[in-house]
Amino acid sequence: MPRTRAIFVTGASTGIGQACALHLHAAGYRVFAGVRKPSDGEGLGSLVSEGLEWIILDVTATDQISDAVARISAMVGEAGLAGLVNNAGIAVGGPLEYLAPEDLRQQLEVNVIGLHAVTSAFLPLVRLGRGRIVHIGSISGRLASPLIGAYTASKHAVEALTDVLRLELAPEGIHVAVIEPGQVRTPIWTKGLSNFDAFAARLPPEGATRYGGRLKVLQRILERAPLHSSPPEAVARAVSHALESARPRTRYVVGRDARIRLWLSHLLTDRAMDALILAMFRKVERRLA
């Protein structure tokens, strides 16, 4: 069957983005996949025979966004895009007290400003194709956790951007949804571990004393995350539903851990939820001491 409907997925080098690109390709879409490096694109392209084209895209680079729009426009013409999936993102960790402004700026530049820039640039193509927009958020966008404040702030912002854009585009029939995964089996955990040592080494002595025990807990969480995480294909299935369903949801919570955390947040007060999280950290910290 000819692939007459096209979708653009950002951050498709690995993990969730790659799973979404492959899942949508298998569903019959013509997929354009944004990647950071040619080697990433070649690796992704080797997984399918046709119907998937990779495009170099750093969502913080205005010129690359413009080039991607021009290239995809030339290929899809008046058919436009059936969907835009904003997945590109990074995770910056560490206690807020010692988080450098440039680290927070980078976190927001990629996860928030980059997402907005790509959406604005590709919206005319989405209009042409009477398509939909899907943002990959996180359950952290609704529920805060200690030591990942920058990441949590960025995903809270994604929630707000999604809600506002959904309201603004509703009169045109363009649906906007956000996916809220919990822990997902992706390279983000490996990257988190590699960044952990670098951040811990930058802490001043008083910071190491103040947060050292809790940072060890975070390290243990990162180490064990792949054992208890959902597969990225679970997120891809939610994205597919958001793009194709006659009655798409506004939010998709993905993963048992995310659903449990959300249920607890509805059941407990803020103080009780804080006490539960802090008690968990203390318990693990004592075990690691």
Bridge-partner residues for 202, per DSSP? none
C-alpha span between 190 and 262 (Å, rounded): 26
Catalytic residue among 29, 151, 211, 252: 151
Strand order in 52-56's β-sheet? 52-56, 30-35, 6-9, 83-86, 132-136, 176-181, 251-254
Other CB atoms closer than 10 Å to residue 191's CB: what's the count?
A: 15
Q: Residue 7 pairs with which residues in a beta bridge? A: 31, 83
Residues in the chain: 289
Catalytic residue flag (residue 151): yes
What count of other Cβ atoms lies within 10 Å of the Cβ of residue 265? Answer: 16
Question: Does the CA dihedral 65-120-175-154 come out positive or negative?
Answer: positive
Tokens 């807990």 — which residue? 217
Q: Which residue carries 């990629």 as its tokens? A: 110
Catalytic residue positions, numbered: 151
